[in-house]
Structure 1
Amino acid sequence: MKTLLKSFLLLIGMITFSNTAFAQKAVQTAIIKTVIHCDHCKACETCGDKFNKTLLREKGVQMVELDEKAMTIKVVYNSKKTNLDKVKTAITKLGYDADDLKADPNAYQSLDNCCKA
């Protein structure tokens, strides 16, 4: 009886561990290079707030952090719900470059003048 109980507990432990490990692999973090021309994009009414709110509405995106000094965008996303290409495309639709993808020209034009080259 003790052997059966030990085996059962071991099986429950293995299932719990494998489910936890599998769930953690779905969350990915990406650092995306961009071009930022102003030093206050986070506070900019048309750039900062809109940028964060819009990206956080994208399915699977959990966190967005804009670093205007390093000219990077840190994105944490669930890879079961989206992928890096979709995240980059969403960034370009906001008027920013995303690694090798260029900003959408119409979205770029809608940025404040301080945020353009």
Structure 2
Amino acid sequence: MKNSLLLIFFSLFTIVLSAQEVKKNQKAIIKTNIVCDHCQECETCGGNFKSNMLKIKGVKMYELDEKNMTITVFYNTQKTNLDTIKGAISKMGYDADDIKADASGVSQLDDCCKKV
């Protein structure tokens, strides 16, 4: 009888712990602004964007969709959060949802990639 009760207790305890575990990996789709049709291939802008996105601690992968003007970001919630990622995108010169592009970031972009 004691063994059965212990088994039930540990089973319930394990279920409760697993239910409280926070999801580590998240996916976010961020609306942005892309002025030119070649930002990904642009030597200056595309290269800087790629290296800076992957420098954000916790960002595992991203996909830039120029047609839909979105950035899909896959990140570890224990290392970063969405506001940090949006702030970094803004500093690169691009809008990130409700966060407007930082002026110093925009000034670093090639003329063809700047907002008009």
Amino acid across the alignment from 1:72: T
Farther off after superposition, 83-92 or 50-59: 50-59
Does 2:99 match 1:101?
yes
The TM-score with structure 1 as length reference comes to 0.80
What is the alpha-carbon distance in structure 2 between the residues aligned to residue 59 and residue 71 of structure 1?
Answer: 23
Residue in 2 that maps onto 1:76: 74
Q: Where does structure 2 lack aligned partners over 5 or more consecutive residues?
A: none
| TM-score in terms of structure 2 length | 0.80
Q: Where in structure 2 are the equivalents of 1:16-95 lying within 5 Å? A: 22=21, 24=23, 26-95=24-93
Where does 1:102-117 land on structure 2 (aligned, <5 Å)? 102-117=100-115
Instruction: Tell me the CA shift for residue 84 of structure 1.
Output: 0.3
Q: Percent same amino acid among aligned pairs?
A: 53
Letter in 2 for 1:29: K
CA RMSD of aligned residues (A): 2.7
Q: Give CA-to-partner distance per residue, 1:92-111, whole Å, 9 cap, x none.
A: 01000000001110110110
Count of residues in Structure 1 that have an aligned counterpart in Structure 2: 115
Contiguous gaps of at least 5 residues in structure 1: none
Q: Deviation of residue 41 (structure 1)?
A: 0.7
AA at the equivalent of 1:78: N
46-55 or 33-42, which deviates more? 46-55
